[in-house]
Amino acid sequence: MRFCVLTLAVLGLACGAAAQPVAPDLQKLDAYIEKARAEWEVPGLTVAIVKDGKVVFAKGYGVKEQGRPDPVDADTLFAIASNTKAFTSASLAILSDEKKVQWDDRVSDILPYFELYDPWVSHEMRIDDLLCHRSGLKTFSGDLLWYGTPYTREEIIRRARYLKPAYPFRAGYGYSNLMFLAAGEVIATVSGQSWDDFVRARIFTPLGMKRTITTVRELNAKGNYATPHTSFEGPVERIDWVNWDTMAPAGGVISSANDMARWLLLQLGGGELEGARIFSAAAQRTMWRPHNVMGGPKPGAKENDTHFRTYGLGWSVSDFQGHFTAGHGGAYDGMFSQVWLMPEERLGVVVLTNCDRGVMGPIVNRIRDAYLGLPEKDYSTLDWETYKLRKAAKKDEPAPRNARPPMALDSYAGTFGGPLYGDATVAVNGNGLVLRLLPNPNLVADLTPLDADTFTLTWRKKFAFFAGGRAQFIPDAKGRIVELRLDVPNNDFWFDELELKKK
């Protein structure tokens, strides 16, 4: 069995992979990408491939919005979501090269208001800890703090102190958008510029990423942008763009295939593109060095496909058949994306889509195999069948029984809240109740009696990441309601973290 020692892979040294790189048939790849898009019923997507210092492929597929003819091209804008994290790490790399920060600087020395669940953790958290998901918080913990709320970046970081840990500091993996938000504030404090202005001036502009932006507020001025679509509850349907400005350092960049190709070339060039040095090769080695373990080989993988899965600084790093790879995925409301690099082959791929379906992986895998000269495999059909089975197995919320709650409806009404999130109100509405989570005016739901003090929860607005749920009112020993607990099944926003005590 051929296996690339981890240290050699990170240094970019050749490892003797099983397959020999070839020049693939781009027309066949083109046809496969369109087949995959149609098979997954994704309205539109765009793909760029870079190889040996050149953009060898950049093309759009499908339409910007379902039901309308306007086609996607290589300049069409999509949200890249968490692929933004590499831009935040690169910004800190720039500041590190300039000796304005060090990777192991204490966060609290730069952001005095930074505080987490434990004083020692708050004191010991370093900049590199922010960028590799080892804070002790569980994956996506606290994301409701930024989702549609009016809280500033600083206020969100201040509220994070009320989140509870899921594992000991530096002893696990928990994907944290909030820590990257804190990293963005480190950049702002050290540089004297907002995170948005810094990445624009120090990365977008020198790279010639002329269409890339950090806010949905600039979409109309730029033009040629895709529309998000969701299929969380059923068939693919259009939804509105959602403002992610507050959490932009973790997921706010909006870009195109052509612009992202420039970013890939920079990465494969060791921080330099066309004579412009953005960050040092040493800094890139630091960003691509494994800092946190994500897991071993994926279930079902061949013995020699993937040996390690780790996280660097803003990058997922692993191997494929002895080749070192760096990449990341992104999930925005109604838009998924993926970036993937194989540095020793000087190969990079970006896929941007306007739907929340995982067509990106099959496309990237087919391109990877084509360049490595591996046998053709129809990842799209295989993954699509798995996706359909998983969707079919998804259990729906039980239908309301129109039960009679043990108390009058007005006994459940009132204001509930806590220091983490803020207030929620419950008011009588006909034969049910209406819940409003005040920090996000879109989080309004009708509550229908289900069983005892439990109500079904039906959101009035359609969301890409969640739908439905339950609301449970907790009485004290005298039968008076003292707390509201929310259970909204999904994989991204933890409503059960909200401590909503009756006021």
Q: What's the confidence (pLDDT) of residue 258?
A: 98
Residue spans of alpha helices (H) in 43-148 = 85-97, 107-110, 119-124, 127-130
Distances (CA, A) of 348 to 172, 272, 311, 396: 29, 15, 18, 40
Q: What's the confidence (pLDDT) of residue 166?
A: 97
Q: What's the confidence (pLDDT) of residue 386?
A: 87
SS3 427: strand
Indicate the residue type of 436.
R
Indicate the residue type of 333.
D
Q: Comparing 6-100+174-393 with 409-502, is the CATH topology the same?
A: no
Q: What's the confidence (pLDDT) of residue 393?
A: 72
Q: What's the confidence (pLDDT) of residue 400?
A: 54
Q: How many whole angstroms separate alpha carbon 302 and alpha carbon 179?
A: 34
* Residue spans per domain, the chain: 6-100+174-393, 409-502
Considering the domain 6-100+174-393 in this protein, what is its CATH number? 3.40.710.10
Indicate the residue type of 165.
P
**Across 114-252, where does the E strand assignment appear?**
229-230, 237-238
Q: Are 353 and 359 in contact (CB under 8 A)?
A: yes
Q: How many whole angstroms separate alpha carbon 320 and alpha carbon 17?
A: 9
Tokens for 105? 């600087």
Q: What's the confidence (pLDDT) of residue 357?
A: 93
10 Å Cβ neighbour count for 120? 9
Q: What's the confidence (pLDDT) of residue 307?
A: 84
Cα angle for residues 431, 444, 81 (degrees, 5° grid): 155
Q: Are 482 and 474 in contact (CB under 8 A)?
A: yes
Contacts of 89 (CB under 8 A, 6+ apart): 131, 183, 287, 313, 314, 315
Percentages (nearest 5) of helix, strand, coil residues in the chain: 30, 25, 45
Residue 381, Cβ density class (10 Å: 0-12 exposed, 13-18 middle, ≥19 buried): middle
Q: What's the confidence (pLDDT) of residue 232?
A: 82
Please tell me the number of Cα atoms within 13 Å of 413 on its side-chain side: 11
Tokens for 324? 């070192």
Q: What's the confidence (pLDDT) of residue 7?
A: 33
User: What topology does CATH give the domain 409-502?
Assistant: Lipocalin (2.40.128)
Task: Find the helix or strand (DSSP H, E) in which 46 lies.
Answer: strand 44-51
Contacts of 46 (CB under 8 A, 6+ apart): 58, 59, 60, 61, 72, 73, 74, 76, 78, 256, 257, 351, 352
Q: How many whole angstroms separate alpha carbon 91 and alpha carbon 75?
A: 24
Q: What's the full length of the chain, in residues? A: 503
Can you give the pTM of this predicted structure? Answer: 0.92
Distances (CA, A) of 55 to 95, 324, 376: 29, 21, 23
Going residue by residue through the chain (503 aa), what tens digit of pLDDT does each one get? 222 333 333 333 334 444 566 788 999 999 999 999 999 999 999 999 999 999 999 999 999 999 999 999 999 999 999 999 999 999 999 999 999 999 999 999 999 999 999 999 999 999 999 999 999 999 999 999 999 999 999 999 999 999 999 999 999 999 999 999 999 999 999 999 999 999 999 999 999 999 999 999 999 999 999 999 999 878 899 999 999 999 999 999 999 999 999 999 999 999 999 999 999 999 999 999 999 998 766 565 555 588 889 999 999 999 999 899 999 999 999 999 999 999 999 999 999 999 999 999 999 999 999 999 999 999 999 988 888 887 777 665 555 555 778 889 999 999 999 999 999 999 999 888 999 999 999 999 999 999 899 999 999 999 999 999 999 999 999 999 999 999 999 999 999 999 999 99
